[in-house]
Amino acid sequence: MKKYQYVTIPLALHGVVCKTDGSVIDVNIGDDPGDPVVGISDLLIHLSADQLQKTAAKVIGGEKLDVTVGSIPLEGEEKDAVKANIAKLLNEKYGIGEEDLLSAEIEVVPAGPARDYGLDRSMVAGYGHDDRVCAYTSLMAILDAEPGEYTYCCILVDKEEIGSVGATGAASAFFENTVAELLYLTGDKEYISLRRAMENSRMLSSDVSAGFDPLFPEVNDPKNAAYLNNGIVFNKYTGARGKSGSNDANPEYVAWVRGAMDNAGIYFQTAELGKVDQGGGGTIAYILGNMNMNVIDAGVAVLNMHAPMEIVAKADVYEAYLAYKAFLKA
Ligand SMILES: [Zn+2]
């Protein structure tokens, strides 16, 4: 993320606090209109002469992202009296003590609901479209799909932005274990069956693509860019500096996917993630590709990716849903 985008905007707190007695407390502060919000301060423009000399990457340092949560001291408290008052409030509302924050996982995110964007209401503004917009459409597609000849699945994984690592990331054994368990339930205990199930599977890696922004045309090759309202985006490959770190879908599989989309009348576009020399990015596609699965990236074009306000076009969201459903049916 660009850290400077996250200061002086209303922020909400979402997450869990786990206590030693095994109880888990859900925390959700800032999204209800009656809730307070929190935030991160920035220097006033009048005293920013030095700050404004810094590059955009350094103008707000990582350690300057502390969140302001209160200002009233607890009566009778001498030291850290504001902190003591906040601790008291948290204890009253959630029954948690300061030490319970050791086993908490709380995300600080832009506050408020997603909203219609544009005078024609053609788009949706919200944070975290990357990748909730693809997770949502994928989930709805499988929930609405008629059962078919093959086993369908929708895998929703965490930690993609930090490399898909850990027990909840795509690189974990979770999916393989799940397929192994399913095979086991059918009475098939052969290891080779698991490997064959992986190799004979087809997958769409549902993740967003960078939408062409007319204010910054210089970072895209306009002939290979994704445009809002042009339908679901297929990226044959993603990657940085070309295809580094990418899954490169084989042309036979791309042809199969094209056929499936054409048969269902889906509007799709193909793109790469910006100009070759400009940067790049990756998805989880290569992880399943490493199991010899056929995988291609397919998702919704987004403007302002990773900013507190990301933009998607409603028509693209709907087309992604239809495309995912068509893929399951094909
Ligand atoms: Zn991302």
Express each pLDDT in 15-25 by its tens digit. 999 999 999 99
The Cα 134–Cα 298 span in angstroms is: 9
Q: Which long-range contacts (CB under 8 A, 24 or more apart) does 119-124 make?
A: 121/314, 122/229, 122/313, 122/314, 122/315, 123/228, 123/311, 123/312, 123/313, 123/314, 124/311, 124/312, 124/313, 124/314, 124/317
Band (176; pLDDT cuts 50, 70, 90): very high
- The Å distance, Cα 129 to ligand 1 centre, comes to 9
For the record, the structure tokens of 328 come out as 């399951």
Report the pLDDT value the prediction gives residue 274, as an integer from 0 to 100: 83
Percentage, residues of the chain above pLDDT 90: 90
- The Å distance, Cα 67 to ligand 1 centre, comes to 23
Percentage, residues of the chain above pLDDT 70: 100
Using CA atoms, how far residue 127 sits from 111, 120, 230, in Å, is 9, 20, 22
What DSSP element (H or E) covers 235?
strand 232-235
- The Å distance, Cα 194 to ligand 1 centre, comes to 30
- The Å distance, Cα 318 to ligand 1 centre, comes to 20
User: What are the φ/ψ torsions at residue 204 (nearest 5 degrees)?
Assistant: -105, 125
Tokens 């690189």 appear where? Answer: 171
Return the number of other C-beta atoms located less than 10 Å from residue 37's C-beta. 15
Average confidence (pLDDT) over 112-126: 97
The Cα 125–Cα 164 span in angstroms is: 26
Helix ranges (DSSP H) in the chain: 81-94, 129-144, 174-185, 191-199, 251-263, 285-289, 314-329
**C-alpha Rg value of the chain to the nearest Å:** 23
Angle, nearest 10°, between helix axes 314-329 and 129-144? 40
Average confidence (pLDDT) over 91-105: 94
Report the pLDDT value the prediction gives residue 282, as an integer from 0 to 100: 83
How do residues 199-225 score in pLDDT, each as one tens digit? Answer: 999 999 999 999 999 999 999 999 999
The Cα 128–Cα 228 span in angstroms is: 17
Domains of the chain in start order, with CATH, are 3-110 (2.30.250.10), 115-329 (3.40.630.10)
- The Å distance, Cα 70 to ligand 1 centre, comes to 31
Report the pLDDT value the prediction gives residue 280, as an integer from 0 to 100: 81
Average confidence (pLDDT) over 309-326: 98
Report the pLDDT value the prediction gives residue 28, as an integer from 0 to 100: 93
Cβ atoms of 240 and 327 within 8 Å: the answer is no
Report the pLDDT value the prediction gives residue 110, as an integer from 0 to 100: 97
Report the pLDDT value the prediction gives residue 277, as an integer from 0 to 100: 83
- The Å distance, Cα 306 to ligand 1 centre, comes to 6
Give the residue from 312, 251, 247 showing the smallest Cα distance to 273.
247
- The Å distance, Cα 206 to ligand 1 centre, comes to 12
- The Å distance, Cα 329 to ligand 1 centre, comes to 28
- The Å distance, Cα 305 to ligand 1 centre, comes to 7
Average confidence (pLDDT) over 105-121: 97
- The Å distance, Cα 88 to ligand 1 centre, comes to 37
Using CA atoms, how far residue 178 sits from 143, 175, 191, 250, in Å, is 19, 5, 13, 26
Band (245; pLDDT cuts 50, 70, 90): confident
Average confidence (pLDDT) over 130-144: 97
- The Å distance, Cα 2 to ligand 1 centre, comes to 12
Which are the contacts of 76, defined by CB distance < 8 A and separation ≥ 6?
none
The dihedral formed by the CA atoms of 170, 212, 272 and 283, expressed in degrees to the nearest 10: -10
Band (273; pLDDT cuts 50, 70, 90): confident
